[in-house]
Structures are given as structure tokens and as C-alpha cells.
Amino acid sequence: MRCKVARQGDQNGGQSGPRGRRQANLKISQKGLYALQAMMTLARRHGQGAIKIREIAAESDLPEKFLELILLELKNARIVDSVRGARGGYKLRRDPAEIPLSDIIRLMDGPLAPMGDAEQLRSLIAKDSDHRALYEVFLAVRDAAAKILENTSVADIAGGGKAKKGKVGAAMVKKRANGE
């Protein structure tokens, strides 16, 4: 399965494969990616007080106007707090280790569903006996992706390019998939 970042407004995020069939892609919008990058910046500066939007934008290399909208959504979801005044800006409401990536992705992009949502897949498994095994595999892939995102916190990825507890990559994904 290929992973692709879908651009804002891209409804399907997929590409046509051989003979015009759609390839299954794990989709995350540009908005979702920006939200995760902003959360990493806030996590790295956690405990240092509020951070101005322009500082978050500069440190994360994000467009300031788009970031304002994202931070407002994160505030409304009670993930970040805004502080008014000369020392104002945004800060995390809780420790970054307590914020799973799944919360951010669900807020920005909806269900964690690289191949359809879980209920849709369960329905197909129940109704389509000819293709049941295929849909069971898709559900297992969806469940594994969700488990990794639910068990990986913002703190786990906020090491500034380096993981705090070892290398982020295949080993971390394997551990997260096993719930370690």
C-alpha cells in the first residue's frame, strides 16, 4: 500500500493503478499534516508558556493564515489553549505524552480509515461472502493503522528529528502495532 498526502480539497487522494483501478492510499490531508507539525512544535516547547502563531509557523515552516484556522480547531477541541496579551499565543492543554496522534488526525480528517471505515468494512464482510476474506484483510490493515496512531503520542514524534527513545521508523511502528 502506498502512503500519500492528499492536498486540501482532494476528495479521494488516490491515483489510478493498472487498467484504471484505484490504488488504496492512506490519506491524510495537508491540513492534518500541518496540524501534526504544529503539535510537534508545541510539544517541543511544552512548559515554556504560550507560543505566538508566527513563531509556530516559522519553526514548523507552515503558512500562518492556514495555521490560525488549524489552531482554532485544536482550541475548540480542547487540545490547545490560547493565551491573550503581549505574552499570548498557544500552548498544549496537557502533556504531549497524553495526546495520541489519532486524536489529531480524527479531528482534522475524520475516521482513521485507509481502506474505508470499520463499520463499512464490517458490513461488507457480513454481506459479500465472495469477497469476505479480502474485506477482512482490509479491516485488519485499518485496525493495525488505528492501533499505531492511537498508541503513538505527540511526544513520541516531537524529538526534533530524533526520537527521544530510539529511532522512529520500522521498529517503532512494529512496537506500536503490538501495543508496546
- Structure confidence by residue, pLDDT tens digits, 9-19: 444 444 433 33
> Model's pTM, two decimal places?
0.72
- Which residue, 149, 150, 152, 161, is CA-closest to 44? 161
Tell me what the pLDDT averaged over the chain comes to.
80
pLDDT higher at 103 or 166: 103
Contact 85, 79 (CB under 8 A): no
For 122-144, give one letter per residue: b (16+ CB within 10 A) or e: eebbeeeeeeeeebeebbebbee
Handedness of CA 92, 79, 114, 140 (dihedral sign): positive
pLDDT of residue 8: 39
